[in-house]
Amino acid sequence: MDGIGRPVEEGHEYEVSIDAKGAKGDGIAHVEGFVIFIPNVNVGERVKVKITVVKRTFAIGEKVQA
């Protein structure tokens, strides 16, 4: 937690499952219910993501190559 109630922090990596596709085609995952948008992934994929931006209600991350 970042002290404001967001369960992810910028620069940290998380293992997530892609649950859905957003309107712009980004993958959508969740960490403790918090939405993360990740480009260039497919629904059903399990990926490691590095958080690049954290906003009040969502975050943006990028897939980390294994």
Domains contained in the chain, CATH given: 13-63 (2.40.50.140)
Mean pLDDT of the chain: 94
Decide if pLDDT at 2 tops 60.
Answer: no
Decide if pLDDT at 20 tops 60.
Answer: yes
**Percent residues over pLDDT 90 in the chain:** 89
Decide if pLDDT at 27 tops 70.
Answer: yes
CA 20, distance to chain mean position in Å, is 12
